Structure 1
Amino acid sequence: MTQTKTRGLKGVSGLASGLAALAEVTGQATHRQVDIGKIHVDPHFNPRGRYDPDAFNEDRLAALSSSVRAEGLLSPLWVRIRPAGGYTLIAGERRLRAALLVDLRQVPVLVFEADDRRAAYLAVLENAQREDLSIVDETFAGFALLCAHTGLSVPEVISVLNQVRKGADDTLGLEAFLRGTYGTGVSVWSQHRARILDFTPEELAAVQERQIDVSVAYELVPLKGRVEERRHLLRQAAADGLNATQVRALVRPLLSSGRRGLKAEISELRGALPRLARLKGEPADRARRLIQELQALLAES
Protein backbone atom coordinates (compact mmCIF):
# COMPACT_ATOMS: atom_id res chain seq x y z
CA MET A 1 0.00 0.00 0.00
CA THR A 2 1.40 3.38 -1.04
CA GLN A 3 0.40 6.74 0.35
CA THR A 4 1.20 10.39 -0.14
CA LYS A 5 0.08 13.47 1.72
CA THR A 6 -2.10 15.92 -0.16
CA ARG A 7 -2.46 19.26 1.60
CA GLY A 8 -5.41 21.31 0.43
CA LEU A 9 -6.20 18.56 -2.09
CA LYS A 10 -4.38 20.26 -4.96
CA GLY A 11 -4.71 18.32 -8.17
CA VAL A 12 -7.69 16.18 -7.12
CA SER A 13 -9.90 15.83 -10.20
CA GLY A 14 -13.56 16.83 -10.04
CA LEU A 15 -13.01 19.96 -7.97
CA ALA A 16 -13.28 23.47 -9.32
CA SER A 17 -14.72 26.52 -7.60
CA GLY A 18 -15.52 24.58 -4.39
CA LEU A 19 -11.87 23.75 -3.77
CA ALA A 20 -11.35 26.53 -1.24
CA ALA A 21 -14.39 25.46 0.79
CA LEU A 22 -13.24 21.84 0.68
CA ALA A 23 -9.70 22.64 1.78
CA GLU A 24 -11.02 24.77 4.65
CA VAL A 25 -13.08 21.87 6.01
CA THR A 26 -10.64 19.00 5.51
CA GLY A 27 -7.22 20.57 6.02
CA GLN A 28 -5.41 17.58 4.59
CA ALA A 29 -6.09 14.14 3.10
CA THR A 30 -3.99 11.06 2.41
CA HIS A 31 -3.86 9.30 -0.96
CA ARG A 32 -3.65 5.51 -0.77
CA GLN A 33 -4.17 2.31 -2.76
CA VAL A 34 -6.30 -0.04 -0.63
CA ASP A 35 -7.97 -3.44 -0.92
CA ILE A 36 -11.52 -2.89 -2.13
CA GLY A 37 -12.87 -5.34 0.46
CA LYS A 38 -11.77 -3.00 3.25
CA ILE A 39 -14.19 -0.25 2.14
CA HIS A 40 -17.57 -0.26 3.86
CA VAL A 41 -20.60 1.72 2.64
CA ASP A 42 -22.69 3.96 4.87
CA PRO A 43 -25.81 4.98 2.88
CA HIS A 44 -26.22 8.14 4.97
CA PHE A 45 -23.24 9.68 3.17
CA ASN A 46 -24.53 9.30 -0.39
CA PRO A 47 -26.41 12.46 -1.42
CA ARG A 48 -27.65 11.06 -4.73
CA GLY A 49 -28.97 7.85 -3.20
CA ARG A 50 -31.27 9.84 -0.93
CA TYR A 51 -33.43 11.15 -3.75
CA ASP A 52 -32.57 8.98 -6.77
CA PRO A 53 -33.56 5.36 -6.02
CA ASP A 54 -32.35 4.23 -9.47
CA ALA A 55 -28.85 5.68 -9.13
CA PHE A 56 -27.31 2.24 -8.70
CA ASN A 57 -29.30 0.02 -11.04
CA GLU A 58 -27.31 -2.21 -13.36
CA ASP A 59 -28.22 -0.39 -16.56
CA ARG A 60 -26.95 2.94 -15.28
CA LEU A 61 -23.76 1.34 -13.98
CA ALA A 62 -23.00 -0.52 -17.23
CA ALA A 63 -21.21 2.32 -19.02
CA LEU A 64 -19.24 3.25 -15.91
CA SER A 65 -18.23 -0.38 -15.39
CA SER A 66 -16.92 -0.58 -18.96
CA SER A 67 -14.79 2.50 -18.38
CA VAL A 68 -13.45 1.15 -15.09
CA ARG A 69 -12.62 -2.19 -16.71
CA ALA A 70 -10.66 -0.45 -19.45
CA GLU A 71 -8.93 2.29 -17.48
CA GLY A 72 -9.39 1.59 -13.78
CA LEU A 73 -10.68 4.22 -11.37
CA LEU A 74 -9.44 7.59 -12.61
CA SER A 75 -10.81 9.50 -9.59
CA PRO A 76 -10.15 8.26 -6.06
CA LEU A 77 -12.93 7.27 -3.70
CA TRP A 78 -13.32 9.42 -0.61
CA VAL A 79 -13.13 7.51 2.68
CA ARG A 80 -12.41 7.90 6.38
CA ILE A 81 -10.89 5.50 8.89
CA ARG A 82 -13.41 3.02 10.28
CA PRO A 83 -13.00 2.43 14.06
CA ALA A 84 -13.74 -1.28 13.62
CA GLY A 85 -11.10 -1.55 10.89
CA GLY A 86 -10.90 -0.65 7.24
CA TYR A 87 -12.55 2.44 5.80
CA THR A 88 -16.02 3.96 5.58
CA LEU A 89 -16.97 5.39 2.20
CA ILE A 90 -17.73 9.12 2.16
CA ALA A 91 -18.25 9.66 -1.58
CA GLY A 92 -18.00 7.65 -4.78
CA GLU A 93 -20.43 4.78 -4.28
CA ARG A 94 -21.23 4.48 -7.99
CA ARG A 95 -17.51 4.16 -8.75
CA LEU A 96 -17.12 1.62 -5.94
CA ARG A 97 -19.99 -0.50 -7.26
CA ALA A 98 -18.60 -0.35 -10.78
CA ALA A 99 -15.18 -1.45 -9.48
CA LEU A 100 -16.80 -4.39 -7.68
CA LEU A 101 -18.64 -5.40 -10.86
CA VAL A 102 -15.34 -5.70 -12.76
CA ASP A 103 -13.55 -7.40 -9.82
CA LEU A 104 -10.94 -4.75 -9.08
CA ARG A 105 -8.86 -5.80 -6.09
CA GLN A 106 -7.33 -2.43 -5.21
CA VAL A 107 -8.67 1.08 -5.69
CA PRO A 108 -7.29 4.60 -5.11
CA VAL A 109 -8.76 6.49 -2.16
CA LEU A 110 -8.42 9.82 -0.41
CA VAL A 111 -8.52 9.33 3.36
CA PHE A 112 -10.00 12.20 5.35
CA GLU A 113 -9.95 12.89 9.06
CA ALA A 114 -13.64 13.65 9.58
CA ASP A 115 -16.41 13.16 12.13
CA ASP A 116 -19.98 12.44 11.01
CA ARG A 117 -20.82 16.08 10.35
CA ARG A 118 -17.71 16.73 8.28
CA ALA A 119 -18.10 13.46 6.42
CA ALA A 120 -21.65 14.39 5.43
CA TYR A 121 -20.40 17.80 4.29
CA LEU A 122 -17.63 16.23 2.24
CA ALA A 123 -20.03 13.78 0.59
CA VAL A 124 -22.26 16.58 -0.60
CA LEU A 125 -19.38 18.81 -1.63
CA GLU A 126 -17.80 16.07 -3.75
CA ASN A 127 -21.14 15.43 -5.40
CA ALA A 128 -21.69 19.14 -5.98
CA GLN A 129 -18.41 19.58 -7.85
CA ARG A 130 -19.00 16.93 -10.53
CA GLU A 131 -19.21 18.49 -14.00
CA ASP A 132 -21.97 16.14 -15.21
CA LEU A 133 -24.58 17.09 -12.61
CA SER A 134 -28.10 17.74 -13.85
CA ILE A 135 -29.94 20.73 -12.41
CA VAL A 136 -31.88 18.29 -10.19
CA ASP A 137 -28.71 16.63 -8.86
CA GLU A 138 -27.08 19.99 -8.32
CA THR A 139 -30.09 21.40 -6.47
CA PHE A 140 -30.45 18.53 -4.01
CA ALA A 141 -26.70 18.48 -3.43
CA GLY A 142 -26.67 22.27 -3.06
CA PHE A 143 -29.33 22.39 -0.37
CA ALA A 144 -27.68 19.54 1.52
CA LEU A 145 -24.42 21.47 1.29
CA LEU A 146 -26.12 24.66 2.54
CA CYS A 147 -27.52 22.71 5.49
CA ALA A 148 -24.06 21.39 6.33
CA HIS A 149 -22.55 24.86 5.90
CA THR A 150 -25.10 26.63 8.11
CA GLY A 151 -26.31 23.94 10.51
CA LEU A 152 -29.89 24.76 9.49
CA SER A 153 -32.65 22.52 8.15
CA VAL A 154 -33.79 22.84 4.53
CA PRO A 155 -36.91 24.88 5.43
CA GLU A 156 -34.78 27.17 7.59
CA VAL A 157 -32.24 27.61 4.79
CA ILE A 158 -35.01 28.52 2.33
CA SER A 159 -36.46 31.00 4.82
CA VAL A 160 -33.06 32.67 5.31
CA LEU A 161 -32.45 32.78 1.55
CA ASN A 162 -35.75 34.57 1.04
CA GLN A 163 -34.99 37.03 3.83
CA VAL A 164 -31.58 37.85 2.31
CA ARG A 165 -33.16 38.23 -1.13
CA LYS A 166 -35.58 40.78 0.33
CA GLY A 167 -32.77 42.82 1.89
CA ALA A 168 -31.92 41.24 5.24
CA ASP A 169 -28.27 41.13 6.32
CA ASP A 170 -26.46 38.11 4.90
CA THR A 171 -24.82 37.16 8.20
CA LEU A 172 -24.15 33.59 7.03
CA GLY A 173 -22.43 34.71 3.83
CA LEU A 174 -24.80 32.69 1.64
CA GLU A 175 -24.43 34.89 -1.45
CA ALA A 176 -20.65 34.49 -1.52
CA PHE A 177 -20.88 30.80 -0.66
CA LEU A 178 -23.34 30.03 -3.48
CA ARG A 179 -21.52 32.11 -6.07
CA GLY A 180 -18.18 30.57 -5.11
CA THR A 181 -19.56 27.03 -5.39
CA TYR A 182 -22.18 27.24 -8.15
CA GLY A 183 -21.79 30.62 -9.83
CA THR A 184 -25.37 31.63 -8.94
CA GLY A 185 -26.58 33.57 -5.94
CA VAL A 186 -29.32 33.85 -3.34
CA SER A 187 -31.98 35.07 -5.76
CA VAL A 188 -31.72 31.99 -8.00
CA TRP A 189 -31.64 29.53 -5.11
CA SER A 190 -34.53 31.11 -3.19
CA GLN A 191 -36.86 31.69 -6.16
CA HIS A 192 -36.04 28.84 -8.55
CA ARG A 193 -33.93 26.09 -7.05
CA ALA A 194 -36.14 25.87 -3.94
CA ARG A 195 -39.11 25.06 -6.17
CA ILE A 196 -37.30 21.97 -7.50
CA LEU A 197 -37.60 20.48 -4.02
CA ASP A 198 -41.37 20.48 -4.57
CA PHE A 199 -41.23 18.48 -7.81
CA THR A 200 -42.85 15.05 -7.71
CA PRO A 201 -40.63 12.00 -8.28
CA GLU A 202 -42.11 11.70 -11.80
CA GLU A 203 -41.26 15.34 -12.55
CA LEU A 204 -37.72 14.94 -11.23
CA ALA A 205 -37.22 11.90 -13.45
CA ALA A 206 -38.70 13.68 -16.49
CA VAL A 207 -36.30 16.60 -16.06
CA GLN A 208 -33.28 14.36 -15.51
CA GLU A 209 -34.15 12.25 -18.56
CA ARG A 210 -34.73 15.44 -20.60
CA GLN A 211 -38.33 14.58 -21.38
CA ILE A 212 -39.29 18.10 -20.29
CA ASP A 213 -37.42 21.30 -19.50
CA VAL A 214 -37.13 22.30 -15.85
CA SER A 215 -39.17 25.45 -16.64
CA VAL A 216 -42.10 23.19 -17.55
CA ALA A 217 -41.93 21.40 -14.21
CA TYR A 218 -41.91 24.78 -12.44
CA GLU A 219 -45.35 25.47 -13.91
CA LEU A 220 -46.74 22.26 -12.39
CA VAL A 221 -45.70 23.05 -8.81
CA PRO A 222 -48.78 25.24 -8.02
CA LEU A 223 -50.97 22.15 -8.51
CA LYS A 224 -50.08 20.92 -5.04
CA GLY A 225 -52.43 18.23 -3.79
CA ARG A 226 -53.97 17.69 -7.23
CA VAL A 227 -52.02 14.55 -8.00
CA GLU A 228 -53.91 13.15 -10.97
CA GLU A 229 -54.26 16.48 -12.79
CA ARG A 230 -50.60 17.22 -12.22
CA ARG A 231 -49.54 13.77 -13.46
CA HIS A 232 -51.78 14.07 -16.53
CA LEU A 233 -50.28 17.45 -17.48
CA LEU A 234 -46.75 16.10 -17.00
CA ARG A 235 -47.45 13.23 -19.38
CA GLN A 236 -49.09 15.58 -21.88
CA ALA A 237 -46.14 17.99 -21.73
CA ALA A 238 -43.65 15.17 -22.30
CA ALA A 239 -45.64 13.55 -25.10
CA ASP A 240 -46.46 16.77 -26.97
CA GLY A 241 -43.23 18.64 -26.27
CA LEU A 242 -45.06 21.51 -24.56
CA ASN A 243 -43.08 24.52 -23.36
CA ALA A 244 -43.54 26.42 -20.09
CA THR A 245 -45.91 29.00 -21.58
CA GLN A 246 -48.18 26.30 -22.98
CA VAL A 247 -48.25 24.40 -19.69
CA ARG A 248 -48.97 27.60 -17.76
CA ALA A 249 -52.00 28.20 -19.96
CA LEU A 250 -53.29 24.72 -19.08
CA VAL A 251 -52.61 25.11 -15.35
CA ARG A 252 -54.22 28.54 -14.93
CA PRO A 253 -57.88 27.44 -15.36
CA LEU A 254 -57.31 24.52 -13.01
CA LEU A 255 -56.07 26.90 -10.33
CA SER A 256 -59.05 29.20 -10.89
CA SER A 257 -61.51 26.35 -10.47
CA GLY A 258 -59.75 25.28 -7.32
CA ARG A 259 -60.15 28.70 -5.71
CA ARG A 260 -63.94 28.45 -5.90
CA GLY A 261 -63.83 25.48 -3.54
CA LEU A 262 -61.29 26.96 -1.10
CA LYS A 263 -63.62 26.98 1.91
CA ALA A 264 -64.41 23.31 1.43
CA GLU A 265 -60.71 22.46 1.10
CA ILE A 266 -59.90 24.40 4.28
CA SER A 267 -62.57 22.47 6.16
CA GLU A 268 -61.21 19.17 4.90
CA LEU A 269 -57.64 20.14 5.75
CA ARG A 270 -58.60 21.16 9.29
CA GLY A 271 -59.68 17.61 10.03
CA ALA A 272 -56.42 16.16 8.67
CA LEU A 273 -54.02 18.53 10.48
CA PRO A 274 -53.51 16.35 13.61
CA ARG A 275 -51.87 13.70 11.39
CA LEU A 276 -49.04 16.13 10.54
CA ALA A 277 -47.47 15.58 13.96
CA ARG A 278 -46.85 11.93 13.07
CA LEU A 279 -44.74 12.70 10.01
CA LYS A 280 -40.99 12.03 10.13
CA GLY A 281 -37.96 12.58 7.92
CA GLU A 282 -38.43 14.14 4.49
CA PRO A 283 -42.29 14.16 4.72
CA ALA A 284 -41.97 16.18 7.93
CA ASP A 285 -39.51 18.58 6.28
CA ARG A 286 -41.86 19.03 3.34
CA ALA A 287 -44.77 19.70 5.71
CA ARG A 288 -42.71 22.40 7.43
CA ARG A 289 -41.95 24.03 4.07
CA LEU A 290 -45.62 24.05 3.16
CA ILE A 291 -46.56 25.52 6.53
CA GLN A 292 -43.94 28.24 6.13
CA GLU A 293 -45.24 29.04 2.64
CA LEU A 294 -48.80 29.25 3.97
CA GLN A 295 -47.72 31.52 6.83
CA ALA A 296 -45.84 33.76 4.39
CA LEU A 297 -48.88 33.88 2.11
CA LEU A 298 -51.15 34.87 4.98
CA ALA A 299 -48.65 37.50 6.14
CA GLU A 300 -48.69 39.10 2.69
CA SER A 301 -52.48 39.16 2.40
Structure 2
Amino acid sequence: MRAVRCNQHGLPDTLTVETLPDLHPEAGEIVIDVKAASVNFPDVLIIQNKYQFKPPLPFTPGAELAGIVREVGAGVMRVKPGMRVAAYTAQGAFAQQARARETDCVVLPDDVDLALAAAFTLAYGTSYHALVDRGALKSGETLLVLGAAGGVGVAAIQIGKILGARVIAAASSAEKLAFCREQGADEIIDYRNEDLRERVKALTHGQGPDVIFDPVGGAYAEPAFRSIGWRGRYLVVGFANGEIPKLPLNLALLKGASIVGVFWGDHMRREHAIADTEFATMVDWIKAGKLLPVVTKRYPLDATAQALDDMMNRRVTGKIVIEP
Protein backbone atom coordinates (compact mmCIF):
# COMPACT_ATOMS: atom_id res chain seq x y z
CA MET A 1 0.00 0.00 0.00
CA ARG A 2 1.08 3.63 -0.56
CA ALA A 3 1.47 6.09 2.29
CA VAL A 4 2.73 9.59 2.98
CA ARG A 5 5.84 9.48 5.18
CA CYS A 6 7.47 12.02 7.45
CA ASN A 7 11.10 10.89 7.62
CA GLN A 8 12.40 14.16 9.05
CA HIS A 9 10.67 17.05 10.76
CA GLY A 10 10.02 20.01 8.48
CA LEU A 11 7.59 21.79 6.21
CA PRO A 12 5.15 19.91 3.94
CA ASP A 13 7.58 19.77 1.01
CA THR A 14 9.80 17.38 3.03
CA LEU A 15 7.12 14.66 2.98
CA THR A 16 7.41 11.68 0.63
CA VAL A 17 4.96 9.09 -0.73
CA GLU A 18 6.26 5.55 -0.35
CA THR A 19 5.15 1.95 -0.89
CA LEU A 20 4.88 0.02 2.38
CA PRO A 21 3.73 -3.50 3.34
CA ASP A 22 0.01 -4.02 3.87
CA LEU A 23 -1.15 -3.47 7.43
CA HIS A 24 -2.53 -6.11 9.80
CA PRO A 25 -4.41 -5.43 13.05
CA GLU A 26 -3.31 -6.26 16.56
CA ALA A 27 -5.79 -7.28 19.25
CA GLY A 28 -8.58 -4.72 19.60
CA GLU A 29 -7.65 -3.04 16.32
CA ILE A 30 -9.04 -2.88 12.80
CA VAL A 31 -7.42 -2.12 9.46
CA ILE A 32 -9.33 0.24 7.18
CA ASP A 33 -9.09 0.80 3.43
CA VAL A 34 -8.96 4.59 3.51
CA LYS A 35 -11.33 6.36 1.12
CA ALA A 36 -10.87 9.86 2.52
CA ALA A 37 -8.66 11.46 5.20
CA SER A 38 -9.28 14.93 6.57
CA VAL A 39 -6.54 17.57 6.72
CA ASN A 40 -6.37 19.50 10.00
CA PHE A 41 -4.06 22.25 11.21
CA PRO A 42 -2.41 20.00 13.84
CA ASP A 43 -1.13 17.88 10.93
CA VAL A 44 0.97 20.87 9.84
CA LEU A 45 2.36 21.24 13.36
CA ILE A 46 3.03 17.53 13.94
CA ILE A 47 5.29 17.16 10.90
CA GLN A 48 7.32 20.12 12.24
CA ASN A 49 7.49 18.61 15.78
CA LYS A 50 5.53 21.62 17.12
CA TYR A 51 2.48 19.84 18.52
CA GLN A 52 1.71 18.22 21.90
CA PHE A 53 1.56 14.79 20.22
CA LYS A 54 5.06 13.85 18.97
CA PRO A 55 5.18 10.48 17.18
CA PRO A 56 8.65 9.00 16.62
CA LEU A 57 10.17 9.22 13.15
CA PRO A 58 9.41 7.95 10.59
CA PHE A 59 5.60 8.14 10.66
CA THR A 60 2.57 8.66 8.45
CA PRO A 61 0.68 11.85 9.37
CA GLY A 62 -3.09 12.30 9.30
CA ALA A 63 -5.42 12.00 12.27
CA GLU A 64 -8.90 11.23 10.95
CA LEU A 65 -10.31 9.17 8.13
CA ALA A 66 -13.25 7.28 6.74
CA GLY A 67 -13.27 4.07 4.76
CA ILE A 68 -14.15 0.37 4.57
CA VAL A 69 -13.07 -2.14 7.22
CA ARG A 70 -10.52 -4.49 5.64
CA GLU A 71 -9.57 -6.76 8.57
CA VAL A 72 -10.29 -6.99 12.29
CA GLY A 73 -8.06 -8.15 15.14
CA ALA A 74 -8.72 -10.48 18.04
CA GLY A 75 -11.39 -9.31 20.44
CA VAL A 76 -13.08 -6.92 18.02
CA MET A 77 -16.83 -7.40 18.36
CA ARG A 78 -18.67 -4.29 17.16
CA VAL A 79 -16.97 -3.80 13.79
CA LYS A 80 -16.78 -6.33 10.93
CA PRO A 81 -15.04 -6.44 7.52
CA GLY A 82 -16.97 -4.54 4.87
CA MET A 83 -18.45 -1.99 7.28
CA ARG A 84 -18.07 1.71 6.59
CA VAL A 85 -16.44 3.57 9.48
CA ALA A 86 -14.93 6.90 10.48
CA ALA A 87 -11.94 6.83 12.82
CA TYR A 88 -9.66 9.12 14.79
CA THR A 89 -6.18 7.63 14.68
CA ALA A 90 -3.85 10.51 15.76
CA GLN A 91 -1.48 9.41 12.95
CA GLY A 92 -1.48 7.16 9.88
CA ALA A 93 -4.51 8.48 7.97
CA PHE A 94 -2.70 9.79 4.87
CA ALA A 95 -2.37 6.34 3.32
CA GLN A 96 -4.32 3.71 1.43
CA GLN A 97 -4.63 1.66 4.63
CA ALA A 98 -4.74 2.68 8.28
CA ARG A 99 -4.94 0.97 11.66
CA ALA A 100 -7.33 2.11 14.37
CA ARG A 101 -8.53 0.88 17.72
CA GLU A 102 -12.11 -0.33 17.59
CA THR A 103 -12.96 2.14 20.37
CA ASP A 104 -11.86 5.03 18.16
CA CYS A 105 -14.23 4.13 15.32
CA VAL A 106 -17.75 5.25 14.51
CA VAL A 107 -19.85 2.89 12.36
CA LEU A 108 -21.43 4.75 9.44
CA PRO A 109 -24.62 4.17 7.42
CA ASP A 110 -24.13 2.60 3.98
CA ASP A 111 -25.23 5.73 2.12
CA VAL A 112 -22.96 8.25 3.86
CA ASP A 113 -20.47 10.33 1.82
CA LEU A 114 -17.12 9.10 3.16
CA ALA A 115 -15.39 12.42 2.45
CA LEU A 116 -17.94 14.21 4.61
CA ALA A 117 -17.56 11.55 7.29
CA ALA A 118 -13.78 11.99 7.28
CA ALA A 119 -14.21 15.74 7.77
CA PHE A 120 -16.49 15.30 10.76
CA THR A 121 -14.62 13.66 13.62
CA LEU A 122 -11.93 16.11 14.76
CA ALA A 123 -13.37 19.46 13.70
CA TYR A 124 -16.94 18.87 14.82
CA GLY A 125 -15.87 16.86 17.87
CA THR A 126 -13.57 19.71 18.94
CA SER A 127 -16.17 22.42 18.38
CA TYR A 128 -18.97 20.54 20.14
CA HIS A 129 -16.72 19.72 23.11
CA ALA A 130 -15.60 23.37 23.23
CA LEU A 131 -18.99 25.05 22.97
CA VAL A 132 -21.19 22.61 24.91
CA ASP A 133 -18.94 20.85 27.42
CA ARG A 134 -16.31 23.53 28.11
CA GLY A 135 -18.09 26.75 27.11
CA ALA A 136 -21.65 25.95 28.25
CA LEU A 137 -23.00 28.07 25.38
CA LYS A 138 -26.67 28.87 25.85
CA SER A 139 -29.49 29.96 23.56
CA GLY A 140 -29.59 33.73 23.28
CA GLU A 141 -25.91 34.23 24.08
CA THR A 142 -23.38 35.80 21.71
CA LEU A 143 -20.53 33.69 20.33
CA LEU A 144 -17.42 35.22 18.72
CA VAL A 145 -15.54 32.78 16.46
CA LEU A 146 -11.96 33.66 15.46
CA GLY A 147 -10.46 31.95 12.41
CA ALA A 148 -14.07 31.33 11.47
CA ALA A 149 -13.44 30.13 7.90
CA GLY A 150 -11.26 27.19 8.98
CA GLY A 151 -12.48 23.67 9.70
CA VAL A 152 -13.16 24.04 13.44
CA GLY A 153 -14.36 27.62 12.89
CA VAL A 154 -17.05 26.54 10.42
CA ALA A 155 -18.08 23.74 12.79
CA ALA A 156 -18.33 26.30 15.62
CA ILE A 157 -20.55 28.57 13.51
CA GLN A 158 -22.90 25.72 12.63
CA ILE A 159 -23.06 24.29 16.15
CA GLY A 160 -23.44 27.75 17.67
CA LYS A 161 -26.48 28.41 15.50
CA ILE A 162 -28.04 25.03 16.37
CA LEU A 163 -27.63 25.93 20.06
CA GLY A 164 -29.48 29.21 19.48
CA ALA A 165 -26.55 31.62 19.80
CA ARG A 166 -25.96 34.84 17.90
CA VAL A 167 -22.72 34.14 16.01
CA ILE A 168 -20.10 36.74 15.08
CA ALA A 169 -17.52 35.34 12.64
CA ALA A 170 -14.05 36.91 12.35
CA ALA A 171 -11.74 36.06 9.45
CA SER A 172 -9.08 37.65 7.27
CA SER A 173 -10.72 38.30 3.88
CA ALA A 174 -14.02 39.20 2.25
CA GLU A 175 -14.08 35.81 0.48
CA LYS A 176 -13.69 33.91 3.76
CA LEU A 177 -16.31 36.05 5.48
CA ALA A 178 -18.79 35.45 2.66
CA PHE A 179 -18.25 31.72 3.22
CA CYS A 180 -18.93 32.23 6.95
CA ARG A 181 -22.20 33.96 6.08
CA GLU A 182 -23.18 30.93 4.01
CA GLN A 183 -22.56 28.73 7.05
CA GLY A 184 -24.93 30.79 9.20
CA ALA A 185 -22.91 33.60 10.79
CA ASP A 186 -25.12 36.51 11.86
CA GLU A 187 -22.37 39.15 11.81
CA ILE A 188 -18.86 39.27 10.34
CA ILE A 189 -15.58 41.04 11.14
CA ASP A 190 -12.63 41.40 8.77
CA TYR A 191 -9.86 41.60 11.35
CA ARG A 192 -7.23 42.41 8.73
CA ASN A 193 -8.98 45.69 7.91
CA GLU A 194 -11.10 46.42 11.00
CA ASP A 195 -10.25 47.05 14.65
CA LEU A 196 -11.37 43.76 16.19
CA ARG A 197 -12.05 45.09 19.67
CA GLU A 198 -13.97 48.15 18.51
CA ARG A 199 -16.01 46.17 15.99
CA VAL A 200 -16.97 43.57 18.62
CA LYS A 201 -17.93 46.39 20.96
CA ALA A 202 -20.18 47.93 18.30
CA LEU A 203 -21.81 44.62 17.35
CA THR A 204 -22.55 43.74 21.00
CA HIS A 205 -23.64 47.26 22.03
CA GLY A 206 -20.76 47.39 24.50
CA GLN A 207 -21.74 44.18 26.29
CA GLY A 208 -19.13 41.91 24.71
CA PRO A 209 -19.53 38.26 23.65
CA ASP A 210 -20.48 35.59 26.15
CA VAL A 211 -18.21 32.97 24.58
CA ILE A 212 -15.08 33.43 22.45
CA PHE A 213 -13.89 30.46 20.37
CA ASP A 214 -10.19 30.92 19.54
CA PRO A 215 -8.29 28.36 17.44
CA VAL A 216 -5.84 31.05 16.22
CA GLY A 217 -3.96 32.65 19.14
CA GLY A 218 -1.40 35.27 18.17
CA ALA A 219 -2.07 39.00 17.92
CA TYR A 220 -5.88 38.79 17.87
CA ALA A 221 -6.19 36.95 21.18
CA GLU A 222 -5.66 39.91 23.51
CA PRO A 223 -8.06 42.37 21.81
CA ALA A 224 -10.65 39.59 21.62
CA PHE A 225 -10.23 38.79 25.31
CA ARG A 226 -10.44 42.49 26.21
CA SER A 227 -13.84 42.56 24.48
CA ILE A 228 -15.31 39.67 26.47
CA GLY A 229 -18.53 40.17 28.43
CA TRP A 230 -19.26 39.66 32.13
CA ARG A 231 -18.88 35.98 33.09
CA GLY A 232 -17.60 35.31 29.57
CA ARG A 233 -15.80 32.09 28.63
CA TYR A 234 -12.66 32.34 26.49
CA LEU A 235 -12.08 28.97 24.80
CA VAL A 236 -8.42 28.23 24.02
CA VAL A 237 -8.75 25.81 21.10
CA GLY A 238 -5.37 26.13 19.38
CA PHE A 239 -2.64 28.34 17.98
CA ALA A 240 -2.92 28.32 14.18
CA ASN A 241 -1.09 31.64 14.15
CA GLY A 242 1.94 29.85 15.58
CA GLU A 243 2.23 32.23 18.55
CA ILE A 244 0.96 31.43 22.05
CA PRO A 245 -0.48 34.70 23.42
CA LYS A 246 -0.05 36.12 26.92
CA LEU A 247 -3.50 37.14 28.09
CA PRO A 248 -4.00 39.87 30.75
CA LEU A 249 -5.23 37.89 33.75
CA ASN A 250 -6.43 41.04 35.53
CA LEU A 251 -9.26 41.19 32.96
CA ALA A 252 -10.39 37.71 33.94
CA LEU A 253 -10.72 39.04 37.49
CA LEU A 254 -12.46 42.30 36.57
CA LYS A 255 -14.96 40.65 34.23
CA GLY A 256 -15.51 37.46 36.17
CA ALA A 257 -14.37 35.72 32.99
CA SER A 258 -12.95 32.23 32.52
CA ILE A 259 -10.06 31.10 30.32
CA VAL A 260 -10.93 27.53 29.38
CA GLY A 261 -8.64 25.01 27.70
CA VAL A 262 -10.02 22.73 24.98
CA PHE A 263 -8.00 19.58 24.19
CA TRP A 264 -10.29 17.25 22.29
CA GLY A 265 -7.70 14.51 21.79
CA ASP A 266 -7.32 13.89 25.53
CA HIS A 267 -11.06 14.35 25.99
CA MET A 268 -11.54 11.41 23.60
CA ARG A 269 -8.98 9.28 25.44
CA ARG A 270 -9.95 10.16 29.02
CA GLU A 271 -13.71 10.63 28.66
CA HIS A 272 -14.69 8.36 25.80
CA ALA A 273 -18.21 7.73 27.07
CA ILE A 274 -18.95 11.47 27.06
CA ALA A 275 -17.44 11.82 23.58
CA ASP A 276 -19.65 8.97 22.33
CA THR A 277 -22.72 10.83 23.59
CA GLU A 278 -21.56 14.03 21.89
CA PHE A 279 -21.13 12.23 18.57
CA ALA A 280 -24.53 10.56 18.90
CA THR A 281 -26.10 14.02 19.33
CA MET A 282 -24.35 15.37 16.24
CA VAL A 283 -25.30 12.34 14.15
CA ASP A 284 -28.92 12.99 15.12
CA TRP A 285 -28.48 16.61 14.00
CA ILE A 286 -27.12 15.44 10.64
CA LYS A 287 -30.03 13.02 10.18
CA ALA A 288 -32.46 15.85 11.00
CA GLY A 289 -30.80 18.16 8.45
CA LYS A 290 -29.62 20.60 11.13
CA LEU A 291 -25.91 19.99 10.66
CA LEU A 292 -24.06 19.58 7.35
CA PRO A 293 -20.28 18.98 7.38
CA VAL A 294 -18.66 20.85 4.51
CA VAL A 295 -15.79 19.63 2.30
CA THR A 296 -14.50 22.46 0.12
CA LYS A 297 -11.56 20.79 -1.66
CA ARG A 298 -10.30 17.26 -2.35
CA TYR A 299 -6.70 16.19 -3.15
CA PRO A 300 -5.17 12.89 -4.32
CA LEU A 301 -2.61 11.18 -2.07
CA ASP A 302 0.31 12.44 -4.18
CA ALA A 303 -0.80 16.03 -3.52
CA THR A 304 -0.81 15.69 0.28
CA ALA A 305 2.14 18.07 0.65
CA GLN A 306 0.25 20.68 -1.38
CA ALA A 307 -2.87 20.19 0.74
CA LEU A 308 -0.89 20.73 3.95
CA ASP A 309 0.83 23.78 2.45
CA ASP A 310 -2.56 25.22 1.44
CA MET A 311 -3.81 24.61 4.98
CA MET A 312 -0.71 26.18 6.52
CA ASN A 313 -0.95 29.30 4.36
CA ARG A 314 -4.75 29.59 4.70
CA ARG A 315 -5.45 29.35 0.96
CA VAL A 316 -8.61 27.29 1.50
CA THR A 317 -11.78 27.68 3.52
CA GLY A 318 -13.67 24.98 5.38
CA LYS A 319 -12.51 21.36 5.41
CA ILE A 320 -10.21 19.67 2.88
CA VAL A 321 -9.60 15.95 2.41
CA ILE A 322 -7.10 13.54 0.89
CA GLU A 323 -8.63 10.74 -1.22
CA PRO A 324 -6.07 7.92 -1.57
TM-score (norm 2): 0.29
TM-score (norm 1): 0.30
**Rg larger for:** 1
Higher-strand-fraction structure: 2
Higher-helix-fraction structure: 1
